[in-house]
Chain A
Amino acid sequence: MSKIDWLWLGGAAVWLGFGAYLVLLARRQASLERRLAGLETSVRSGNDLPAEES
């Protein structure tokens, strides 16, 4: 592995790392939205929803 290869490896790792994290976030967001939507319909009407305790 010559020096230039290491450089490529380093650069690629950083971009791949960010990419993988963004994909992970996107997937988690999708499942969150699906479950939120499911829950909101089964809970009584939205505006009568007590929020987090003070």
Chain B
Amino acid sequence: MRDELTAINANRAKSARAGAGLGALNLVLLLAGGLAMAASQWAIFVHAPEEQVMGLTQKLFYLHLPLAWWGLVSFLLAGLAGAFYLAKRTPGWDALGAAALETGLLLAGLALFTGSIWARTAWNTWWTWDPRLSTALVMCFIYAGVLAVRRLDFSFERRASLSAVLSIVAFADVPLVFFSARLWPRTIHPSIVGNGGLAPEMLAVLLFCLAGLGVFWLGLVLLRCRQALAEQRLERLQILNGENHE
């Protein structure tokens, strides 16, 4: 009987030590990410040449693409974390999944906002059936739904399993949404936002922005993940205290 308790307390101590290590890494990531994004803001205006056709508004693109890109990576991470949770049932994966979902929704939301401003300046309508824009919108609806499920009053395992399954299904649905959005406008040729030929400097700035946001995103996910682990600990303590009886 003693060994059962000591084993449980052992991995509790391990996760506590890991928590401290993560704290330092977290701080570094967030700071570095923040600085890199600030630098990229400078680079966008100073270094990148102005695009002839669209002029200044094209510069919004350096912000919009990284947001959309890392938002998608976030949802991929949420799907993978879900798969690992279903396979291994360790609470850590659920915490990472929750963090990835929330951060992903934030990024996708911002990408959507900047995207619609882009649409406003480029085609002076707030909304067009641009495949990427409409996919981002539908993704925001789906993942907002998944986060709503996480807030319902379920036991920990139930919420974690549901969230894991939904994260996988939602990510599998994204390509389907994208292709249907591309087919939907009656025009045969899908409208491609002009990001084909990028001047080398522009590409350099874009990659720099991408990297900067990437570091910041990683810091954000880790921060939210540690918070999710703390929330799990709180829930366990509440049960132990008999606050919410079975």
Residues on A lying within 8 angstroms of B by beta carbon are: 3-4, 6-7, 9-11, 13-14, 17-18, 21, 25, 28-29, 32-33, 35-36, 39-40, 42-43, 47-52
Contact = CB atoms under 8 A, between A and B. Distances in A.
A32 B231 contact: yes
Contact of B114 (A14, A25, A39): A14
A18 B236 CA distance: 30
A39 B241 contact: yes
| B interface: dominant SS | helix
Contacts of B232: 52
A35 B234 contact: yes
A32 B67 contact: no
Given A29-B227, A51-B12, A43 B121 contact: no
Interface stretch (B56-64, B129-137, B167-175, B185-193): B56-64
Please name the 10 residue pairs, one residue from A and one from B, whose CB atoms are nearest each other, closest first: A39-B237, A51-B8, A51-B12, A10-B117, A10-B60, A10-B114, A17-B110, A3-B57, A6-B121, A3-B56
Nearest to B41: A11
A40 B230 CA distance: 13
A25 B224 contact: yes
